[in-house]
């Protein structure tokens, strides 16, 4: 059997190339970009200050966005997927348990955007000038309180925002 018969679509070659790149990344010093807890460099300390990180475990959203910023700005990845806030699926005491965590997640995304706008790109401009950001939720909430009178149920609609170069605002 020839190599072409085993790899007629190129998927095996793509897999092998991806595996080689992953091994090279693991062997590289890229992990130092994400080690926020041990004696940070001046550059990393600037990042931590920007995201106002002091307690990584408690500042879930900000920590995740700081890691995404590092991955994008240090060339570790061209695409990141970040869950900025978990625990919003709360059907009880919605007015107390939903707004605060949601605000924390949106603030973290705002800090990510601001950071990307501050980071120079080698080709000119900022990293944000070459970034498309899509933020969404997998569900929405009903406009009115649910049967319990203190929470909102899931709803069929949702919202998202898309921003980046070439995307016209307010549409």
**Can you point out the beta strands (E) in the chain?**
133-136, 140-141, 154-155, 160-163
d(CA 112, CA 128): 10
Which DSSP state fits 126?
A: B
Q: Which pLDDT tens digit goes with each residue over 68-102?
A: 999 999 988 888 988 887 666 666 666 677 777 77
The answer to whether residue 9 scores a pLDDT higher than 80 is no
d(CA 56, CA 86): 15
Place of tokens 């190129």: 10
Q: Which of 164, 28, 161, 3 has the alpha carbon at shortest distance from 84?
A: 161
Q: Which of 69, 2, 78 has the alpha carbon at shortest distance from 34?
A: 69
The answer to whether residue 119 scores a pLDDT higher than 90 is yes
Please give the pLDDT value at position 6.
62
The answer to whether residue 52 scores a pLDDT higher than 90 is yes
Q: How confident is the model at residue 160 (pLDDT cuts 50, 70, 90)?
A: confident
Which DSSP state fits 160?
A: E
């Amino acid at each position: 059997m020839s190599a072409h018969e085993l790899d007629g679509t190129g998927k095996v070659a793509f897999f092998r190339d991806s595996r080689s790149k992953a091994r090279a990344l693991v062997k590289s010093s890229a992990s130092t970009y994400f080690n926020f807890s041990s004696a940070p460099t001046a550059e990393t300390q600037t990042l931590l200050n920007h995201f106002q990180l002091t307690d990584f475990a408690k500042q879930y959203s900000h920590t995740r966005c700081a890691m995404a910023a590092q991955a994008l700005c240090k060339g570790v990845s061209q695409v990141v997927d970040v869950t900025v806030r978990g625990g919003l699926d709360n059907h009880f005491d919605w007015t107390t348990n939903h707004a605060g965590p949601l605000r924390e997640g949106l603030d973290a995304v705002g800090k990510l955007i601001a950071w990307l706008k501050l980071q120079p790109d080698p080709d000119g401009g900022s990293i944000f000038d070459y970034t498309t950001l899509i933020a969404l939720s997998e569900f929405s909430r009903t406009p009115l309180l649910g049967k319990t009178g203190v929470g909102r149920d899931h709803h069929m609609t949702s919202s998202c925002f898309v921003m980046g170069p070439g995307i016209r605002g307010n549409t």
